[in-house]
Amino acid sequence: MLRRPLLRQEGEEKAPARLVDQLADENLAVDVLVNNAGLMEVGDFAKIGLDEHERLVQLNVAVLTSLTRRLLPAMIERGHGRILNLASTSSFQPVPSMALYAASKAFVLSLSEALSEELWGTGVTVTALCPGITKTDMYDRAQGEHPVARKLPGLLLSEVQDVAREGYEACVAGRAVVVPGLPNRLLASAVQLYPRWLVRGVGGLVGRRSTK
Ligand SMILES: NC(=O)c1ccc[n+]([C@@H]2O[C@H](COP(=O)([O-])OP(=O)(O)OC[C@H]3O[C@@H](n4cnc5c(N)ncnc54)[C@H](OP(=O)(O)O)[C@@H]3O)[C@@H](O)[C@H]2O)c1
């Protein structure tokens, strides 16, 4: 498992290489890679510090890409492997006031889906797990920053165990995309059916109201 202290060191962008070197030194083969670590930020893109944006892109996009690229060839060579990438229901539409986070999760979903097709027939599968709002530390922090997060109906809140179980089962089965929970599946499907201007506009209204 990728541990935070490794990524907190100077030269954070080199952490995936160091981790993979350590695994090689200890003769450890990775059969299952779970790219779970992620950062979220809430607020106006122009007001959030550039260093925060860069940390988010580094962790949510660059580290996930680097670990996947470094560990995938050996999985293909062995003819088996599973990669589980943490995307989000925010992967399916732009989210004003969480613009960069949603963009990073759209990247994760797109990359995962493309790879799952590229890897067809190799014995290696890639699964994008797209949870809705889940009761973790990330959600606790969002409640402090985002009034909307405090008013969400219970129906839209997922339990960690349920998300983990659905993600695990989809990963083992080699499914490309899983959205845990019926309400989240309905929402994710709906935003793909409605015109983009409408989805964007509704998101903008909610975002503007919630960050005031
Ligand atoms: N909670 C939600 O509503 C929700 C919804 C959709 C998707 N997700 C995604 O699910 C994943 C897990 O999120 P969570 O809700 O469990 O968030 P969380 O409670 O904030 O946990 C974040 C995880 O990322 C790790 N992490 C943070 N910064 C790191 C760094 N620089 N280097 C290495 N590891 C780092 C943390 O490690 P430590 O344990 O060492 O702190 C922790 O394991 C994320 O990718 C998130 O985007 C969450």
Q: Rounded to an integer, what distance in angstroms lies between the CA atom of residue 157 and that of residue 56?
A: 24
101 is catalytic: yes
Pocket test for ligand 1, best of 9, 10, 36 (most atoms within 8 A of CB): 36
Rounded to the nearest angstrom, the distance between the alpha carbon of 118 and the centre of ligand 1 is 27
Is the CATH code 3.40.50.720 the one for domain 4-210?
A: yes
Assign 8 a pLDDT band (cuts: 50, 70, 90): low
Rounded to the nearest angstrom, the distance between the alpha carbon of 56 and the centre of ligand 1 is 11
Assign 11 a pLDDT band (cuts: 50, 70, 90): low
The answer, yes or no, to whether residue 149 has pLDDT greater than 60, is: yes
The answer, yes or no, to whether residue 2 has pLDDT greater than 50, is: no
The answer, yes or no, to whether residue 202 has pLDDT greater than 80, is: yes
The answer, yes or no, to whether residue 44 has pLDDT greater than 60, is: yes
Q: Which residues line ligand 1 (CB under 6 A)?
A: 2, 4, 7, 36-40, 59, 86, 88, 131, 133-134, 136-139
